[in-house]
Amino acid sequence: MKKFQVDQNGYYGKFGGAYVPEMLFANVEELRIRYLDILNDSSFQNEFHALLKHYVGRPTPLYFAGRISDKYNTRIYLKREDLNHTGAHKINNTIGQIILAGRLGKNKIVAETGAGQHGVATATVCALTGLECTVYMGKLDMERQKPNVERMKMLGARVVPVLSGNQTLKDATNEAMRHWINNPEDTHYIIGSVVGPHPYPDMVARFQSVISEEIKTQLFEQESRENPDYVIACVGGGSNAAGAFYHYLECEEVVLIAVEAAGKGITTGQSAATIALGAEGVLHGSKSIIMQTDDGQIVEPYSISAGLDYPGIGPLHAHLSERGRVEFTHVTDKEALKAALELAQLEGIIPALESAHALAILSKLDLKKSDLVVVNLSGRGDKDMDTYIRFINKEK
Amino acid sequence: MNQIEVITNKIEDLFYRRKKRILSVYFTAGYPKIDATATIITNLEQSGVDLIEIGIPFSDPVADGDTIQHSNHVALKNGMTIRMLFDQLRDIRNRVEIPLIMMSYLNPVYKYGIEKFCKKCHEIGIDGLIIPDLPLYEFETKYKAVFDSFNMKFIMLVTPQTDNERIRKIDFLTGGFIYLVSSTSTTGSKGKISNEQMQYFKRIHDLRLNNPLLVGFGIGNKESFVNACQYTAGAIIGSAFIRAVSKSDDLKASVSSFIKSIKA
């Protein structure tokens, strides 16, 4: 029984669908009709898995983090998505979508990016396959994630600054969608998260599901059991969480925890905790939970972490929240920064600010010594060094 | 006490009376000033425009180019909301006869409540709705009955990529007119209408649909208007009109001189 899978009409319960203007209908419809046949084809699977293994470096380690386990008096494993080529889980999806774009006969790629991790992952696979790459990025995000901007440019991508709204991920997504409207025939849009019109949320979740597939195998090797007691992931749009939860959704004994970015605190008006603060609505092609005013205008979110600074969440997650399958919680900027520093000093791993949100929840859980906890370490922190240095200097 | 209500719709009436050179104008409510709504509507009617699309501003208008994005942004900054717009339009039917269409992205309408929104539009005397990100499937399965019950014509877009089967389905399910998007693009003027675009207008014309066709996106001056009208019932001007009223202290004069420049 697959009660958390997308249905034939592109819905997870009441969330999902394909709310696109007619200008995008033909493209989205072509994807909808073809994606499962393409993904299930053995030549696609062979190519996808070969690239994940030889190019991305999968499987990524599942590492027993002894010192942080001692600190929280439990048993904590880290799924090391930070060790992927390009430094985050984002490349699992872009590898899949670039092969798909080839099968669809598209020779240009457009993408949005927040933290720049998806942009870098997209620029990378475009360089790998020789496709032309345009990445839209909010101007504010370009400033706070400068190293990633330079990486994208070195990889040959055109990075277009977005000046509308708060100049962050939401605005970059608008602009990428407009680009696709204006270039529907030769361009494939590589959405970076489990958001957007059906079939994107399902397609991206499938590409990211390699994360939980590996966790199962690796946990069995190390602990003689496939299922941990907890899986914890941070969530903005929700792609790393979707991947880490995917093969555990039907295993109800595994507690799944998604950590949103509370920013400066959920009551401060400067937050990106969509499940905590949002309401049902339609944004970027799907019906989900979104942060909005009483008048239905989208609220500009805030988080110190560019990758979580988004006012929506994938429709799968809205459904998982409503059904109570995943527990949604949130941590502040400051809690995330502290957790990042802690991981660096206890384990020698500098996490991405996004992933630090998942780590920050450990201190708030009532964990038993015997519990087995998997935290999805979705990315590494090189891109966030400026922010970390400022924080460390302030704490001194 | 069974009263027989004769259900009429001003959009239907218009296309029944007129078959050619229909001019529809889009403006963003709350732009350039918060209280410009009634002035723009009355002056558009007086200038000889045939149909008006009242745009409800939205924070994330993905189908729009720079000009209309900007007008949406300014209108929201000016404080425009659906509730305020309904209030401004309360007595509009005492002042104008022209068919009126509400254009909005789905989320503000969804948040307001779709049925409540239709009811309010009906009370005011709105004749149709354009909601570009409400797709045909959702319209057909969830909302058609609601729109019909309030006599709201639901107008859908057709693009160069829409296949014939889908166009026929749109034609069958929707009413008022079909909004023929002139090219694969967001809103905004592109200058001239190309031969390829003319061929596309003719191709749709030759389908002999039930609904009349109005061409929109990229229509901004007399030449593009006249060309767009060759195979269709008329055309829609949005961005060019927004620019024409953007810097105006005298809305009445700028509305009338812009419309004159199109109809001359």
User: Which of the residues B12, B50, B53, B127 is marked catalytic?
Assistant: B53
Could you say which of A204, A222, A256 is where a domain stops? Answer: A204
A290-314 per-position pLDDT tens digit: 999 999 999 999 999 999 999 999 9
A28, A126: one domain:
yes
Dihedral sign computed on CA atoms, order A298, A300, A303, A307: positive
pLDDT, one tens digit per residue, over A162-191 is: 998 888 899 999 999 999 999 999 999 999
Q: In chain B, which residues have their Cβ closer than 8 Å to the Cβ of A185? A: 161, 184
Beta strands in A18-156 (DSSP E): 62-64, 75-80, 108-113, 132-138
The CB-side HSE value for B21 (13 A sphere, CA atoms) comes to 7
Per-residue pLDDT, B254 = 96
pLDDT digits (tens, 9 = 90+) for A355-374: 999 999 999 999 999 999 99
**How remote is the C-alpha of A313 from its chain's centroid?**
10
Q: Tell me: pLDDT of B1 over 50.
A: no
Going by C-beta distance under 8 Å and a sequence separation of 6 or more, which residues neighbour residue A383? A87, A115, A116, A117, A145, A147, A148, A352
Model confidence at B4: pLDDT above 90: no
**CATH number for the domain running over B10-263:** 3.20.20.70
Which has more pLDDT, B191 or A13? A13
State whether A19 and B133 contact (CB < 8 Å): yes
Lowest mean pLDDT among A74-83, A127-136, A159-168, B79-88: A159-168
Are the Cβ atoms of B163 and A183 closer than 8 angstroms?
no
Asked if the bond preceding A161 is cis, omega within 30° of 0, the reply is no
CATH of residue A73 = 3.40.50.1100
Domain boundaries, given as residue ranges, for chain B? 10-263
Catalytic residue, candidates B50, B64, B127, B171: B64
Q: Are residues A44 and A71 both part of a single domain?
A: no
Query: A25 CB near a chain B CB, below 8 Å?
Result: yes
Is A300 catalytic? The answer is no
Domain identity same for A264 and A226: yes
Contact call for A26 and B58, based on CB within 8 A: no
**Catalytic annotation present for A112:** yes
CA distance B180 to A236: 37
CA distance to A11, A44, A61, A103, A189, per residue, from A95 (Å): 25, 11, 19, 13, 13
Task: Assess whether pLDDT exceeds 80 at residue B6.
Answer: no
- Regarding whether A258 and A181 lie in a shared domain, the answer is no
What does the DSSP 8-state code read for residue A86? G
- Cα separation, B96 vs A12, whole angstroms: 45
**What percent of chain A has a predicted confidence (pLDDT) above 70?**
100
Asked whether residue A80 falls in the same domain as residue A195, the answer is no
Q: Any chain B CB within 8 A of the CB of A166? A: no
* Residue B177 and residue B155 in contact, taking contact as beta carbons nearer than 8 Å: yes
Nearest-CA neighbor of A352 among A318, A286, A304?
A: A304
Burial class (CB in 10 A: 0-12, 13-18, 19+), B141: exposed
Assess whether A217 and A175 both reside in one domain.
Answer: no
Q: Are residues A349 and A391 in the same domain?
A: yes
The domain tally of chain A equals 2
Domain range for A45 is 16-51+90-204
DSSP 8-class letter at B143: I
Among A204, A219, A251, the domain boundary falls at A204
Final residue of a domain: which of A152, A169, A204?
A204
A171: left (phi over 0), alpha (psi -120 to 50) or beta: alpha
- A22 inside domain: yes
Examine the domain organization and report whether A256 and A115 are in the same domain: no
Residues A240 and A279 reside in one and the same domain: yes
Q: A170 with A304, same domain?
A: no
Q: What is the pLDDT of residues A319-352, one digit of tens each?
A: 999 999 999 999 999 999 999 999 999 999 999 9
B35 classed as catalytic: no
Is A22 buried (19+), middle (13-18) or exposed (0-12) by CB count in 10 A? buried
Q: Do B158 and A282 touch (CB under 8 A)?
A: no
Residue B5: which pLDDT band, with cuts at 50, 70 and 90?
A: low
Is A146 in the same domain as A242? no
| Judgement on whether residues A175 and A221 belong to the same structural domain of the protein | no
Of residues A202, A137, A197, the one with CA closest to residue A173: A137
Residue ranges of E strands in A197-254:
230-234
